[in-house]
Structure 1
Amino acid sequence: MNKPTDPSDLSLMKFGIGQPVSRNEDPILVRGEGRYTDDVNVDGQLYAAFVRSPYAHGVLNGVDLSAALDMPGVVAAYTGADLVAAGYGTLPCIMVQKQRDGSAMVTPARPSLAVDKVRFVGDPVAFVVAETAAQARDAAEAVALDIDPLPAVATPEEADKPGAPTIYDEAPGNCALDYHFGPTEQVEAAFASAAHVTRLDIANNRIVVNSLEPRAALAQFSDGRYVLNVPTQGVFGFRNNLAGVLKVEPKDVHVITGHVGGSFGMKGSVFPEYVSLLHAAKTLGRPVKWTDARSDSFVSDHHGRDQNVHAELALDAKGKFLAVRISGHSNMGGYLSPVAPLMSTLNIHKNGIGTYTTPLMQVDTRCMFTNTAPIGAYRGAGRPEGNYFMERLIDQAAREMGIDPVSLRKRNQIKPSQMPYKTPVDTVYDSGDFTALLERAVEAADWKGFAQRKRDSRKRGLLRGRGIGCYLEVTAPPMNEMGGIHFEADGTVTIVTGTLDYGQGHWTPFAQVLTTKLGVPFDKIKLVQGDSDRLVAGGGTGGSKSIMASGAAIVGASEKVIEKGRIVASYALEAGVEDIEFANGRFAIAGTDRGIGVMELAAQLRNGGLQMPDDAPKTLDVDHVHRLSPSAYPNGCHIAEVEIDPDTGVTKVVRYVMVNDFGTVVNPLLVEGQLHGGVMQGIGQALMEFTEYDADGQLVTGSFMDYAMPRADDMPEFTFESRPTVATTNPLGAKGCGEAGCAGALPSVMNAINDALAEVGVTQMNMPATPKRVWEAIQQANSSAAA
């Protein structure tokens, strides 16, 4: 029998919910012992290399494999015709929206290898399998493509013009979706009655995802099952989607994910290469491996963002918001990714209202096919965009109306007394004190001291500006999630869950939840999340929901362990079940010091040390499925200050304050790290990242020589604070934090830039505010002033 656990036990204090525990994952990773997909090798494996279209648009007349097949080490080569003959399905778009008139959006089929036309530079057309990776690459270069080039179109606005090249016959005018949300007549009436209307044309620049680890896969076919080692964001849903394309039952597919070097949404999709590799493995009877080259990933990975909108905000004479209206174009690329329309439709209108009492919202988006790489989810997937459009409008309205931007926000923000608050976009906010966060951020940013800092910058010949980015995100929709708790023979406890860590550090916070709820020693906990055969449910990681989904599943599973444990403990302690209490990892007879720890109880069960009836639990193991926690609403206020050199256009973020409400914070150290990373991605998009295609659909920014990524010296010093209000939508009271950095950074940084440039007469600067573009805007403003 264990002695009673003191409630002040140091292990619980150190590793419980709310403690800044260092990541369990880090020692392995910093020692270089991580096991990524490219690290996985099996006996007899072959290597694949893909042949991609050099044209953005063209008719594919044929593929000549003969020269490649004659090269040393080549085992096989395949085209789209081979995959069609094998009977595989096409890659689906699963986030289908309704057209303005209620009809279905246009969803052309995407084969894994092109068969009739090529639709973007990088479109996979064929692949070669050889004994070595070098032999496969050499042979791929020998494949001859017979393509008749067609005129291409690279921007959604150009694709929407009369006479633009037609990319799909079933999509005349190249429009996949003409989306509308909102009460048009009421919105029009609100604008007609407004004392002031602010209007902005806002660009949401295209991003190359650039995960640290390129996409890779090792495909096998064994005992009638497809087996794929691949970096994903969740193996359970990925397995099901892949099975659908392969046209087999999910049980016939086994997906395994080890360490993942970043994803940001991109690796959540089934890509054409995976189907191709599995076909080769089945056909050849040998494993087939592929690791993407960075130059190929630039053109073939899903890109992010890429939307241009006309945004309007109607206000009364006192600055109260009456309505917001967003219309414009969104780029889908050459094919629809699984979530292609989501970012510029549903997620814009759900996240665009933000923290404000705006009574009306309208969103009109034309989702256009172009001859560019497909657009997919990228950190936030429409959530930062919705916040960005609204916050840019508010700062511009404040400037136009002569109202302090803090005051304008405060007079329109939802109050705590209004919770739960039903918005006009079919969401219900359960908790939050938005004005308190704004006030604290203003205080932490030393708002009153800005005038002196601006004077100091001016003395050094620099422009200085400040910007606010209040945000509220609607986290990913509810999905079932597994929370398995297994007591192992070696004295460890395994958590099994279907979200997946691709850099966030799930092991540590999940273990903290289990330690708090069951008293399991922190150093005895393991995590399994990357093996589809171990799961009975799993929603994957995305939309800032992992701690809410898996955390809630672990809480529920812990409660079931306690239920079983009380029964077993009643036999171990020779007492009635109704007399057994549980606290701090220990079952005890109420009112006595007689008890037994959960770990010892599990060991006795496993070793057969207890005499119990046949209907009593045989283990404390639980495989629990948590059902559908509703979305939560993380929110906060970020304030950025920038300095701009007007002679060069170089912009630096020099101060950055963020105050956030993430509900229950399981691990504040990890949360702050997530915010640092997200903010830097936002700064990267705001200042430098830009994906440019020329008029022929050729990617101009196809390498790190041409595509700028933020570096360490671009990072400001951060001031970070948490001011949580507990969520009521899930058992932990958590709200999610993974995408909040982008949501706060985009508007705060760009508002700061526009504030600084307003001093020299620049009225609107869009992302990315590169030195060249900032300098040109200043020169144009100077010329206009001189004229």
Structure 2
Amino acid sequence: MDDRTTETALSLTKFGIGQPVTRKEDPTLVQGKGRYNDDINLPKQVYAWMVRSSEPHGIIRGIDTEAAKAMPGVLAVLTGEDLTAYNGLKCYLPIKSRDGSPIRHVPRPALATDKVRFVGDPIACVIAETVAQAKDAAEAVSLDIEPLPAVTSAREAAKPGAPLLYDDIPNNIALDFQHGDPAKVGEALKNSAHVVRLPLVNQRIMVAAMEPRSAIGEYDGKNDHWTLHSSSQGVFGMKNLLKDILKAPAEKVRILTGNVGGSFGMKATPYPEYVCILHASKVLGRPVKWTDDRSGSFVSDHQGRDFDMTVEVGFDKEGHIQAIRMTGYGNLGAWCANFGPLLPTLNVTKNIIGMYKTPLLEVSTQCVYSNTTIVSAYRGAGRPEGALSIERCIDIAAGELGIDRFELRRRNFIKPKEMPFATPAGTTYDCGDFPGLFKQALDVGDVKGFAARKRASKKAGKLRGLGVACYVETTAAMTQEMGGIRFNADGTVTIITGTLDYGQGHASAFAQVLSAKLGIPFDQINLLQGDSDQLIAGGGSGGSRSAMLSGTAVVQASDKVIENGKQIAAHVLEASAGDIEFKAGTFTIAGTDRSVGIMDLAAQLRGGLKLPDGVPTTLDISHVTEAVPGTYPNGVHVVEVEIETDTGLTRVVKYNAVNDFGTVLNPLLVEGQVQGGIVQGLGQVLLEGVVYDDAGQLVTGSFMDYAMPRAHDAPMIAVDNRPVPTKTNPLGSKGCGEAGTSGGLPAVANAVIDALAEFGIKHLDMPMTSSKIWEAIEKAKSAKVA
């Protein structure tokens, strides 16, 4: 083995697939050298600020911009009338109502023209030489809005006589979705020995990404070309949506995204502000920059969850599930976001089954408009809601049936020998070991030792509860994805792909895949994701699918590099291409010691290596993979909480999560993803919740009133893997990005209710705040005395 082969072998041992490699971008980010959108400043740039409605619902009678236009530094004040040349923001989902009709929605104009429909609805855009001047002028814009009654609850908005947001959409119902056979499900529930019926609210959640939304619009009048610098979850998808709004050919639109400080679904699609600044750039001939502040984010960023459902689960005498029925409402907010109707319909349908054999399923959801900020994808996007629904019902059923909650789950698990397993949700699980995963989770969580810990907590004057939750996620629909590989002049190699890293650590994971396939040194591999002009396809990051999409694309592109490399190496080594073998970064004539390394071959090509006709002249590849099948990551979370009875203060004190993500590319990154998702789940259970008052005003409009989880709220979280690799993609990987929330949300909720069980408390709506828990305990004590 020569030095080069030894070096490659050592590199693969340290940086290959399955190794806990630290994130490539971390040294840059922790030193403050990252390049987020607000860090970008272009020559001659000016600044925009939005004028937003303070009314939740009203008719626009007038917009007086004259005083604002006369203020120092002000260059323009745009209203909706200035933007009529552009298309509105649309929802492209093909989901249909039960009667076969499409989603009822109105394309959203960038600036309101006839009515305002929620607090934060943008009405005008001020452009000035400085941010301060733009803000001052925005306050000088005079609005004449005739107030109308407002409605913020989806359930109330769907009632006859509720205020209508759109005159031609009766009862504010955008979509009347149904999955399953209501008659069969109804009969099965009727004939069940026991039925659990649980009204369950998934409260509205603020996304609250660390980096507020920011964008710079540039218009090149000479070439009729638009460029948007913006945070995103994928530049190719953003480009395709934005070009339709601008009515521009694809080649005339470019999206650039640098580092992104969190998104969780919120930055995936265009916003009205982007249209405003691009138009302003066209009018003024200068780049226009807009960066929101936290107050603006609270009223204008897409929000998450907001389901109001009733879940019914029927069991036979032995505790086997006979049918599940979910009925209720999904709140869309004032407009139909691109992904909004997907969450309480198809996504929750595919994820409520979980690990359990379920003969029949019905999901009936009315997606409803209300005078609130738009609701769209938020980490999990229907998956955690589905897991919460079935896991809460399983715990309740166990108590009512007198069956141990662990045993009730075991009786209903889909077994490995039953795979592939077709569910009534229209999905087919290809693989998994749910019973084995469950046993391992109970073992590492030391469930047997819980009774002793509960007694110790009681001696300390605290309640202790144990929660368990199982989940199976259905990852998002797959799309085409690019796998470009470029051998650069400086001796590095660049991967080009259309997913986008906004905290996941793609640069390391994808480099590990490429290093394993081609033997290229890890530290010589770069990643390019944020320039739409460099892409020929791209599905973006979302729905826990990046490893499958970009991973598959990199593997397939690597195979093409090897194929071309064998032909080139055959010429260099004076052999037949059929006699060339490739292993660990080296092309070798079979049965000899004559070889050339892939990086050496790339260097020779850059040096002008002459090749005969018919032999590839480069190792560079620009490949697009077809959509690969989705995957079904799954796991079991075991969590313990302690509650102070005198205050209701609740702490998560022990957490174990065992997951099946198939082939784990990088366990360190996976652990971080799972832990982050778990914290978001416990945040929703214990702390977070968007609140509107009866008039439609946002009550939780800042971090003074909206409780985000902090470091002291998060326990030490142990993450273990029990992989069952899938065969649906060449890596065998399953998604992991949102799984922590799918397990964390129901596990923490179940733990809290378990702790309160001695008071006879069977359910609390989220967030289960300290005050709510204390009130429930005191009420239960009073009832017992009475």
3-state SS of 1:507 partner: helix
Equivalent residues of 2:8, 2:519 under 8 A apart: no
Distance in 2 (alpha carbons) for counterparts of 1:551 and 1:409: 34
Equivalent residues of 2:355, 2:414 under 8 A apart: yes
Distance in 2 (alpha carbons) for counterparts of 1:63 and 1:780: 52
Q: CA deviation at 1:7?
A: 9.1
Instruction: Give per-residue Cα distances to partners, 1:710-768, cap 9 Å, x unaligned.
Output: 01111111121100000111111000100000000011000011111111121211211
Aligned to 1:634: 633
Matches within 5 A, 1:164-203: 164-203=162-201
Instruction: Give per-residue Cα distances to partners, 1:419-455, cap 9 Å, x unaligned.
Output: 1111111111111101111111111111111111111
Q: CA deviation at 1:782?
A: 2.1
1:90 is aligned to 2:88: yes
Q: CA deviation at 1:4?
A: 6.3
1:367 is aligned to 2:367: yes
3-state SS of 2:674 partner: helix
Aligned to 1:392: 392
> How many pairs were matched up?
784
The amino acid across from 1:204 in the alignment is N
The amino acid across from 1:167 in the alignment is L
Matches within 5 A, 1:149-548: 149-222=147-220, 223-548=223-548
Matches within 5 A, 1:141-156: 141-156=139-154
3-state SS of 1:49 partner: strand
Distance in 1 (alpha carbons) for counterparts of 2:46 and 2:4: 58
Distance in 1 (alpha carbons) for counterparts of 2:666 and 2:653: 27
Q: CA deviation at 1:150?
A: 0.3
1:705 is aligned to 2:701: no
Equivalent residues of 2:200, 2:308 under 8 A apart: yes
Distance in 2 (alpha carbons) for counterparts of 1:132 and 1:71: 12
3-state SS of 1:491 partner: coil
Distance in 1 (alpha carbons) for counterparts of 2:393 and 2:612: 69
Distance in 1 (alpha carbons) for counterparts of 2:23 and 2:559: 25
Distance in 1 (alpha carbons) for counterparts of 2:336 and 2:669: 34
Aligned to 1:685: 684
Instruction: Give per-residue Cα distances to partners, 1:634-678, cap 9 Å, x unaligned.
Output: 000001111111211111111111000000001000000111111
Q: CA deviation at 1:780?
A: 2.0
1:753 is aligned to 2:752: yes
Aligned to 2:579: 579
Aligned to 1:57: 57
Equivalent residues of 1:641, 1:752 under 8 A apart: yes
The amino acid across from 1:334 in the alignment is A
Q: Which segment is superposed worse, 559-568 or 752-761? A: 752-761
Q: TM-score, normalization: structure 2?
A: 0.99
Instruction: Give per-residue Cα distances to partners, 1:599-622, cap 9 Å, x unaligned.
Output: 00011112113x321321111000
Aligned to 2:778: 779
Q: CA deviation at 1:457?
A: 1.2
Distance in 2 (alpha carbons) for counterparts of 1:100 and 1:786: 50
Aligned to 1:623: 622
Q: Which segment is superposed worse, 420-429 or 51-60? A: 420-429
Distance in 1 (alpha carbons) for counterparts of 2:628 and 2:619: 25
3-state SS of 2:267 partner: helix
The amino acid across from 1:89 in the alignment is N
Distance in 2 (alpha carbons) for counterparts of 1:739 and 1:215: 21
Structure 2 residues not aligned, in runs of 5+? none
Equivalent residues of 1:2, 1:595 under 8 A apart: no
Equivalent residues of 2:396, 2:762 under 8 A apart: no
Distance in 1 (alpha carbons) for counterparts of 2:35 and 2:3: 41
Q: CA deviation at 1:785?
A: 2.2
Structure 1 residues not aligned, in runs of 5+? none
Distance in 2 (alpha carbons) for counterparts of 1:473 and 1:346: 13
3-state SS of 1:9 partner: helix
Q: 1:437 to 1:7 in 2, by over 3 A?
A: farther
Q: Which segment is superposed worse, 526-535 or 443-452? A: 443-452
Equivalent residues of 1:4, 1:595 under 8 A apart: no
3-state SS of 2:204 partner: coil
Equivalent residues of 1:320, 1:411 under 8 A apart: yes
1:768 is aligned to 2:772: no
The amino acid across from 1:686 in the alignment is V
Equivalent residues of 2:8, 2:520 under 8 A apart: no
Equivalent residues of 1:493, 1:524 under 8 A apart: yes
RMSD of the alignment, in Å? 1.1
Distance in 1 (alpha carbons) for counterparts of 2:197 and 2:575: 73
The amino acid across from 1:772 in the alignment is S
Distance in 1 (alpha carbons) for counterparts of 2:591 and 2:5: 15
Distance in 2 (alpha carbons) for counterparts of 1:53 and 1:168: 18
3-state SS of 2:375 partner: coil
The amino acid across from 2:682 in the alignment is I
3-state SS of 1:267 partner: coil
Q: CA deviation at 1:467?
A: 0.9
3-state SS of 1:266 partner: coil
3-state SS of 2:362 partner: strand
Q: CA deviation at 1:786?
A: 2.6
Distance in 2 (alpha carbons) for counterparts of 1:3 and 1:304: 54
3-state SS of 2:343 partner: coil
